[in-house]
Structure 1
Amino acid sequence: MDLLANLVLGFEAALTLQNLGYATLGVVLGTAIGVLPGLGPVPTIAMLLPLTYALPPESAVIMLAGIFYGSQYGGSTTSILVNIPGESSSVVTCLDGHKMARNGQAGLALATAALSSFFAGCVATVLLAAFAPTLASVAFKFGPAEYFSLMVLGLLGAVALAHGSVLHAICMILFGILLGLVGTDITSGGQRFTMGFSELFDGIEFVALAMGLFGLAEVISNAGRQDDRQLVTKKLSGLWPSRADLRRMTAPAVRGTALGSLLGLLPGGGATLSSFAAYALEKKVSKRPRDFGTGVLEGVAAPEAANNAAAQTSFIPMLTLGMPSNAVMALMIGALMLHNIQPGPQVITNNPQLFWGLVASMWIGNVILVVLNLPMIFVWVKMLSIPYRYLFPSIILISCVGVFSVTNDVFGVFLMAAFGAIGYILLRLDCEVAPMLLGFVLGQSLEAYFRRAMLISDGSLWVFVERPLSAAMLILAATIVMTFFIPTLTRKRTEVFREAE
């Protein structure tokens, strides 16, 4: 009965004219940036963070969430029609989706992607509604030692699942943690790493860092890209699958949803990892594995279901534990903190309208996506002709205005520019910046919980192993570290991410 009452509360919040409008805006914008290669949910959400400052918290979170899971829908369009993934989670869809389009089945491939994503999104939302409150009640029993161990586990998990070198990922996380320590010391009140700038006394502005690392760095790295996108077909037909096609896609969509829902919970996991894992699983269980890559429907249904399910279940650890499982969730934490809302178990009890309104909006958003996506497919196809040279100046302008509106100071714009240059250099050095953002978001909390645990235990480090839950998480973290030194697993990890690139 409590769940039903909470869902009623959520739908009352989500179905207000304002929130319904922002949910629609979010999913439409998410589809659009998913369609346009070179953009993605991370830089888009980073750019829109300042604009959400003027919105009610519920509307802001509903819109940003819509952008995230909406981009998973849109990314499949370019993968299928142009063989260019609009979003990293849609890389696998190119393998069979584009082949289907070349075989005259573009409409069927697009419908398969949309319906599989819709099914996965609905199931993942049910899981969010059912399990998030339970996990939040468990989190209330966490002390400083448990939270510290959980964050260590999360950061090491992000290292294991980050692209590229493990050493690079560890360095990025440590760099992010150091950036999070800039400002006033939480205990002594002294200044740390501010270099005499009074603007840094309160720490580095999250919006400036996020927009620089993801918005400006993305613009710089893509500025020289050639506009050589060519559609495989300009006429689309068969946008509704037959009964036989529906039967064929059902089992792969169910398996992809289950796997994506699980991987979305993992630190460092998310839509991209889930889509690759679902494709690999589907190939293993198939009676015709050699057909994969030649244009089979199952190769589209499974990864598209997985990436959408992962996008929505990744909200569970972020909302209940305050643990971002990927870069987008780190940005969502930033959005909540702009509204003075601390992510964690207290979100459900202190802000029930926000939490349950978000859950309800995901159902509504998935319905809007499937209703809009297929009829508007010709609009999304037309968007593929927009040259990059028209997009990037507007992104820079929005970024500068957005940062200035939050900081009300030119220093924030210069800070964003500096992080844009740093982000570009890191991309050129094959260093993924997402672990750095996770380290920055968790850095202050990591320090705070460590200090609290030390105060409680009179300076004894044994507090982290004396408490069973904390010890279990540290053992799991140590196990993850040990896997870094197993050659077979290291090679396999490298092969997986090389295929993703």
Structure 2
Amino acid sequence: MFDQLLHALPVVFHPANFAAMVGGTALGIAIGALPGLSATMGIAVLIPLTFGLDPLVGLGMMAGIYNGAMYGGAIPAVLLRIPGTPASIVTTFDGYPMAQRGEAGRALQIAVVSSAIGGMVSAIVLMTLAPPLARVTLAFGPAEYFWVGVFGLSAIAVFVGKNPIKGIISGCIGLLIGCVGIDTITGAQRFTFGNVNLFDGFNIVVLLTGLYAVPPALAMAEEAVKTGISRAKLKVKSEHGMFDDWRRLWKVWARSSFIGVLVGLLPGAGGNIAAFLSYNETKRASPDPDAFGHGAPEGVAAGECGNNADNSAALVPALTLGVPGSAVAAVILGGLLIHGLRPGPALFRDHPDIVYGFMIQMFFTSLLLILIGGVIGTRVFIHVLRLPRVLLVPLIAGLTAVGVYSINNSMFDLYMMLGFGLLGYAMERLDFPLAPAVLGLILGPMAEENMRLALLISQNDWLVFVTRPISLGIAALTVLVLAFPIVRDSIAKRRTAHAAAS
């Protein structure tokens, strides 16, 4: 593993790859700083534009946008009490009170250092866990991969969003979309209606761009916010050095990094859950818990470190099993697939420079946050908030249209992107999570193909899915995941009934 990492280092720091990481990090901070935009949307817009680039150049930009956007959300959270990304909600609890008493600069410095530390710890975990886990998957056969697909769909559907039923419906929409095209086992056409454009199914990039890039643009057009933030509200001064608080915060960083990594490894959890858990544990362990919510630096450090420690950890199951741990990881998985890179042991065996190089890029772009976000960029990137959000609508629309059209030079892809965009907008308005639909398209065909292969090999013996220990273990985990909402609701009802009786 270490030999592969050392071999990938010079490839990563090739001028083109280095420029991609720097540019991606800067762009990610700007995206995160704009409320309504997210790392998921930024990467979804970027993927079509990287289609003709070297895979590491595209992945370097994705890594930079991912880490940069997770920190960038702290800028409006501290200055305006507006979370730039969902994961930065926790940062508003103490970051904004610090800004109100004249410590906005200190709060942003703590946020950028905490984000960088969480991201680097998470990248180290990715480098450490992914290669051995990929070797374990060599023992997987069609039955095991079938259960991996079902487990990933179940976990994302149940844990993403507030309503598990809506999550399952969203996953079923993705499964239906994944059925379109020529059957890989029999060669029969399914749901193509004689249209040659559908013989290969729906392009994953078209789906990702439509679901994640178009709805935010439509929402901003609907709001029609024509004014930006005034210069007076965006002043940042700090009398503290960037690392002056490290003695006070190192325990917070250690605890939050550990929590963020654990949450990232769980499919469907996400950075916002990691941030809340880190904040709650830091508050519980603090000698002065009453200070939280009134401008405690530990609160800012916990939230930002926790949500960034989720980043690379969510890629561990994505790179090894094809089960992304978050919505952003699902989009990055789509980026890998369009470059012909399939997750699993073959990825580590056939493309070591790319996969290990991507891990290094995740680490290095986290480190770049300190330079770009802390030393140089915060004073620059806060002025992104002065841009009227309605002006972003034609920019996003133009980039997505050019990127999607350039894949196949097909107007059909543009129509499909618009259709998926309207579908995503309707789903968001109805509070249906989008990630299960994406996972349905990615994991559904994989689960179906491996199920049918397992049945062919076993001559239609359905016991093949529960006879091997690995299959049985993943099946048991899937049952536990599906039963979790029922058990949780049952416990909640009993507590409510008990409280009413007493």
**TM-score normalized by the length of structure 1:** 0.94
Alignment-derived partner of residue 424 in structure 2 = 423
1:292 equivalent to 2:292? Answer yes
Alignment-derived partner of residue 496 in structure 2 = none
Equivalent residues in 2 for 1:94-243, closer than 5 Å: 94-225=92-223, 226=225, 227=227, 229=229, 232=233, 234-241=235-242, 243=244
CA deviations 1:77-122 (Å, max 9, x no partner) are 1111111111111111111111111121111111111111111222
Alignment-derived partner of residue 480 in structure 2 = 479
Q: Gaps spanning 5+ residues in structure 1: where? A: 493-501
CA deviations 1:334-363 (Å, max 9, x no partner) are 212222121212111111110121122223
Alignment-derived partner of residue 394 in structure 1 = 395
Shift of 1:149: 1.1
Asked whether the equivalents of residues 483 and 489 of structure 1 are also in contact (C-alpha less than 8 Å), the reply is no
Alignment-derived partner of residue 303 in structure 2 = 303
Asked whether the equivalents of residues 256 and 306 of structure 2 are also in contact (C-alpha less than 8 Å), the reply is yes
Q: In the alignment, residue 449 of structure 1 is paired with which amino acid?
A: N
Asked whether the equivalents of residues 102 and 232 of structure 1 are also in contact (C-alpha less than 8 Å), the reply is no
Equivalent residues in 2 for 1:381-460, closer than 5 Å: 381-460=382-461
Shift of 1:416: 0.8
Task: Report % sequence identity.
Answer: 36
Q: Provide the rounded CA distance (Å) in 1 between the counterparts of 2:391 and 2:240.
A: 31
Q: In the alignment, residue 264 of structure 2 is paired with which amino acid?
A: G
Alignment-derived partner of residue 377 in structure 2 = 376
Q: Provide the rounded CA distance (Å) in 2 between the counterparts of 1:156 and 1:323.
A: 11
Q: In the alignment, residue 431 of structure 2 is paired with which amino acid?
A: D
Asked whether the equivalents of residues 11 and 361 of structure 1 are also in contact (C-alpha less than 8 Å), the reply is no
Equivalent residues in 2 for 1:343-382, closer than 5 Å: 343-374=343-374, 375-382=376-383
Shift of 1:233: 5.0
- Partner of 2:387: helix, strand, or coil? coil
Q: Provide the rounded CA distance (Å) in 2 between the counterparts of 1:34 and 1:28.
A: 10
CA deviations 1:107-161 (Å, max 9, x no partner) are 1111111111111222222211122111111011111111111221122111232
**TM-score normalized by the length of structure 2:** 0.94
Q: Provide the rounded CA distance (Å) in 2 between the counterparts of 1:45 and 1:450.
A: 32
Alignment-derived partner of residue 499 in structure 2 = none
Alignment-derived partner of residue 260 in structure 1 = 260
Shift of 1:367: 2.4
CA deviations 1:172-211 (Å, max 9, x no partner) are 0011011011010111111111122210110011122111
| Aligned with 2:21 (options 23, 35, 47) | 23
| Aligned with 2:74 (options 73, 76, 80) | 76
Asked whether the equivalents of residues 248 and 297 of structure 1 are also in contact (C-alpha less than 8 Å), the reply is no
CA deviations 1:14-52 (Å, max 9, x no partner) are 111111111111111111101111111112111111111
Q: In the alignment, residue 7 of structure 1 is paired with which amino acid?
A: L
Q: Provide the rounded CA distance (Å) in 2 between the counterparts of 1:66 and 1:166.
A: 32
Deviates more, 1:224-233 or 1:166-175: 224-233
Shift of 1:380: 0.9
Q: Provide the rounded CA distance (Å) in 2 between the counterparts of 1:139 and 1:318.
A: 12
Q: Provide the rounded CA distance (Å) in 1 between the counterparts of 2:297 and 2:316.
A: 30
Q: Provide the rounded CA distance (Å) in 2 between the counterparts of 1:98 and 1:232.
A: 12
Shift of 1:487: 4.6
Alignment-derived partner of residue 48 in structure 1 = 46
Alignment-derived partner of residue 279 in structure 1 = 279
Shift of 1:283: 2.1
Q: In the alignment, residue 81 of structure 1 is paired with which amino acid?
A: L
Q: Gaps spanning 5+ residues in structure 2: where? A: 494-502
Q: 1:59 to 1:430 in 2, by over 3 A?
A: same
CA deviations 1:418-475 (Å, max 9, x no partner) are 1111111111111111111111111111111111111122212211211111111111
1:92 equivalent to 2:77? Answer no
- Partner of 1:462: helix, strand, or coil? helix
Q: Provide the rounded CA distance (Å) in 1 between the counterparts of 2:462 and 2:111.
A: 50
Shift of 1:316: 1.3
CA deviations 1:222-268 (Å, max 9, x no partner) are 3233357467551422352574x322211111111001111111111
Q: Provide the rounded CA distance (Å) in 2 between the counterparts of 1:314 and 1:27.
A: 19
Asked whether the equivalents of residues 276 and 303 of structure 1 are also in contact (C-alpha less than 8 Å), the reply is yes
Asked whether the equivalents of residues 113 and 242 of structure 2 are also in contact (C-alpha less than 8 Å), the reply is no
Q: Provide the rounded CA distance (Å) in 1 between the counterparts of 2:445 and 2:265.
A: 22
Q: Provide the rounded CA distance (Å) in 1 between the counterparts of 2:150 and 2:283.
A: 34
Asked whether the equivalents of residues 162 and 169 of structure 1 are also in contact (C-alpha less than 8 Å), the reply is yes
Q: In the alignment, residue 70 of structure 1 is paired with which amino acid?
A: G
Asked whether the equivalents of residues 115 and 370 of structure 1 are also in contact (C-alpha less than 8 Å), the reply is yes
Q: Provide the rounded CA distance (Å) in 2 between the counterparts of 1:44 and 1:54.
A: 18
Shift of 1:269: 2.1
Number of residues of Structure 1 aligned to a counterpart in Structure 2: 489
Q: Provide the rounded CA distance (Å) in 2 between the counterparts of 1:418 and 1:307.
A: 32
Shift of 1:488: 4.5
Q: Provide the rounded CA distance (Å) in 2 between the counterparts of 1:302 and 1:251.
A: 10
- Partner of 1:267: helix, strand, or coil? coil
